[in-house]
Amino acid sequence: MSITTASLDSLPRVDLPASDATEPPVALREEASAPPAGHPRTSADAANMRGKPLGRATLRRPAAALALLAGDGLAMLIAAIALWALGAIPPTATQAPAFLAFAAVLALAQFAFAGLYPGYGIYDHEQIRRRAVGSVRTGLAVMPPLVFFGATSTIVPVLLFLALMLCIQPATQHLARRTARALGLWGERVALFGPTDQAEEIAGYFRRHWQLGIVADISGDRQSRHGVARLACLTSPICLSLHQVSELRDSFAEIVLLADAPSLKISGVQPSDVGGTIGLVLARGRSSTAAGMGRRLLDLAIALPAAMLAAPLVAIAAAAIYAVDPGPVFFRQRREGLGGSPIEVLKLRTMYRDAEFRLEALFAARPEMRAEWQAHFKLKHDPRILPLVGRALRASSCDELPQLWNVIIGEMSIVGPRPFPDYHLAAMSSEFRDKRHTVMPGLTGLWQVSERSNAELDLQCQIDDFYIDNRSVWLDWHILLRTIPAVLGRGGAF
């Protein structure tokens, strides 16, 4: 297998025109072609691009999914009517309608989890297999309730219903796809990366097999009716650097190495090796709108009750702070939020009001302390910290509790990279800062539960980089569960 290399500059550019933010172009270029001038590609650009409204193009995928869902519903309705018309449901099976409806809902859920709505890029034979597996699982799941409720006479009708539904679905699915296509709702635009002659063949193949839902538009037309490219499809095994993959992930939901098609040799990867799909997913993009909404709901579900529970503790801590060093008990500091926008992070004050003067005085008296500060941006024996109450709040991280308000108003998330002060960010590369701007800062994060305050700057960046590339609801839950023992253990916190 020949491996070719291409710089990202020779790959297609996805940029939003100022006149119409809903129709960015996806141009196909030769691997050796020169890049167009004046088109910066940074994580910040991608974040801004994702934040713009996409209009009708955004609704194409969910609309196509609903069309296929309706097609399956039609197949189920026809199957149920046919069973009644043929007398396959005995008159004594009074609970049959309820259990048929239950089986139908379970089957639709199975099909959804199998990725069949809308099922772009999945070959027909694989769709049949996934539907069969989903139907078998549905049948097995329905059996226990049927036996428990004494509706054993309904077992055979339910199994016949599922079998007949499977036989009807290919026709109703074809009808649903044709209807969605006629309404201009079918298909997803992809960006093809590779030699032009090969890409032309692949684009032609997808046009002939429109049922796959892959719209390979290689014209680079800014006003294409197919909207924003969601997938980046590699037509040959291009060797990409980690930096190039990261940039592609900022612009596309998935990066796919195309598998061979029945009439085309592409990469040598076979559909049977990648689950009957058009290619191997090399990387997935940043979080989607749906995932962002789910994360926001999770943030509110945790932050609102947590804020009410934490209010008495915050009040007691505020009183203790005032007793030790009278003055404002809360401390606001400007940090960088999503997209690099400034946010005011709220904390309980754990330092003397003349903290900066005390720090400079320490460096003047003990110059060796500056090295510790530059490595961690913290000091184990910090003269700025209030005695007892300040150290207790910092060791337990309770000084961060007021940031639940930042979470509630949408400036922060429960889990994410911590929002660092400007002096901390200044030590990071501009590229990494741009990458941090693509996600919302968090109240806790992977760095906090992994290393606490012990990690040096390079390791902090590496851990945050890993989190951004792999963030998911499950990773967030893992971090949340580890936060409690990390705080109680007080390991590394100072």
Residue 19's pLDDT band (cuts 50, 70, 90): very low
Q: Cα separations (Å) of 140 from 132, 149, 216, 231, 390? A: 12, 15, 40, 36, 59
Model confidence over 126-174: pLDDT tens digits?
A: 999 999 999 999 999 999 988 888 878 888 899 999 999 999 999 999 9
The pLDDT, as a whole number, for residue 7 is 38
∠ CA 195-260-270, nearest 5°, is 140
The reported pLDDT for the residue numbered 404 is 93
Tokens 């500060």, located at residue: 373
* C-alpha dihedral sign at 207, 211, 216, 222: positive
Q: Indicate the SS3 state at residue 145.
A: helix
Stretch 209-231: mean pLDDT? 66
> Which tens digit of pLDDT belongs to each residue from 180-214?
999 999 988 888 877 777 778 888 899 999 999 99
Instruction: Name residue 397's amino acid.
Output: S
269 vs 280: CA distance, rounded Å: 8
Domain ranges of the chain: 4-54+187-286, 59-182, 290-350+385-489
Which of the four pLDDT bands, split at 50, 70 and 90, describes residue 41? very low
Please give the average per-residue pLDDT across 98-122, as a whole number: 92
pLDDT tens, residue by residue, 464-491: 888 887 888 888 888 888 887 776 665 5
**Token digits of residue 40:** 């910066």
The share of the chain scoring above pLDDT 90, in percent, equals 27
